[in-house]
Structure 1
Amino acid sequence: MLPLHVERWCAPPDAADRTVLAACRGPVLDIGCGPGRMVTALAAHGTTALGIDVNAEAVRRVLAVGGPALLRSVFDPLPREGHWNTALLLDGNLGIGGDPGALLDRIQHLLRPGGTLIAETAPGRPDRDERLRVRLHDGERAHGGPFPWALLGAHALAGRAAAHGWSPAGAWTVGGRGFTALRAAAPGG
């Protein structure tokens, strides 16, 4: 069982989230934005930002509060490809697609050279590197079919990132949540 922190995702940014917001430099792409706490906070402070999510209800919620969001997968064509300055993978979204290498490669393509990815890593073992098939379940019934997911701790992410051309740009922990910042390869890098 992987717990989902829906209440936190629907609340305003907490202390840990605010450290991420402070590290963002626009324009910012929030990948798997959910109900949009981060993208709406960025937009409210004048930062150009866009949230993307594959869940129509999540995108509807972002739009309802005036946030910018699209119903898209990170693997679909997106606006401003190659020009985002910061990309966010929070709340377990490092697991999107179940193939962290493919996800890291895709984000390299979305960011401008030298742009930053800020990823929240799985709690617990820093060397955790797991591939799973998961299904959403509300405690009473399953919603949808199984889909691929991944869990990566901070050390596992650092190793995978280096193998895919990323450079370390910082790491921090707040309130039991761990974050890693990675720098996209510069031209010729």
Structure 2
Amino acid sequence: MTAPPWQADPYTDALRAGRGPLFLRRHDGWLLPLEVERWCAEPDAADRTVLSHSQGAVLDIGCGPGRLVAALAARGRTALGIDISPEAVARTIRVGGSALHRSVFDPLPREGHWDTALLIDGNTGIGGDPRALLSRVSELVRPGGLLIAEAAPLDVDERTVVQVFDGTSKEGSAFPWARVGTEALLRHGRAVGWEREEVWRAGGRRFVAMRRGARAGS
């Protein structure tokens, strides 16, 4: 039986080792490298721009091994990570963060009251439908709350099906995923009531901050 995505698959092995190689593989063989080493390290300069832009209580959606949640906790901030990988949740807790084994589409604590939500490290791809994801996030933050999302480095708006792949013979089950660049991310956000606040680049990465408007989450 093929393992569930992001769970008992090469992702789990990579998190335990703290390194790759690891990829998302599309059906046509195209590979997207996953930066496991960076995810398992301390926040880098680009990550620190995310931390400095975040406000109040923070929900990190798809927190991975927890570097951002742990960094916020070390600053005395209220922060919670959620992830569908049990190993990611366990590692987040080990490094000093708080985390739950949940999907963003599951019932979550403090729904409608988070000050900031994060979608970093490609997590705008969760579920394969960026608009549905952004609509769900609008239900999680308070009115006027903030979303900080990392956009793809290219001008892309793609929905596809991928598997986690370690470059050898190990792979997880197929699941829907998306890649959205800055303009596509802003466009999908506007469609569900998010308002552009700021766009910036750091360390070769692209970030978008959007504010929950009156229509979002209604």
Q: 2: distance between equivalents of 1:173 and 1:11?
A: 20
- CA deviations 1:85-144 (Å, max 9, x no partner) are 00000000000000011101100000000000000000122xx10001010001112332
What's the secondary structure of 1:158's corresponding residue?
Answer: helix
SS at match of 1:16: helix
Shift of 1:179: 0.1
- Quick one: which of 124, 137, 144 aligns to 1:114? 144
Superposition RMSD on alpha carbons, in Å? Answer: 1.3
Which residue is equivalent to 1:169?
Answer: 197
Compute the displacement of 1:186 (Å). Answer: 3.1
- Identify the structure with bigger relative contact order (alpha carbons < 8 Å, sequence gap 6+): 2
Question: In structure 2, what is the equivalent of residue 153 of structure 1?
Answer: 181
Contact 1:113/1:187 (CA < 8 Å) preserved in 2?
A: no
**Which residue, 51, 61, 75 being the options, matches 1:31?**
61
Deviation at 1:185, TM superposition (A): 1.7
1:149-177 residue CA offsets vs partner (Å, 9 max, x unmatched): 00000011111111111100101001110
Percent identity for Structure 1 against Structure 2: 62
Query: Is there any run of 5+ residues in structure 2 with no aligned partner, and where?
Result: 1-30
**Separation (CA, whole Å) in 2 of partners of 1:8 and 1:160:** 28
What's the counterpart of residue 133 of structure 2? 103
Structure 2 length normalisation: TM-score? 0.83
Equivalent runs, 1:1-16 vs 2, <5 Å: 1-16=31-46
- TM-score, length of structure 1 as denominator length: 0.96
Shift of 1:187: 6.9
User: In the alignment, what sits opposite 2:104?
Assistant: 74
Aligned-partner Cα distance in 1 for 2:101–2:164: 19
How many residues are treated as equivalent by the alignment?
187
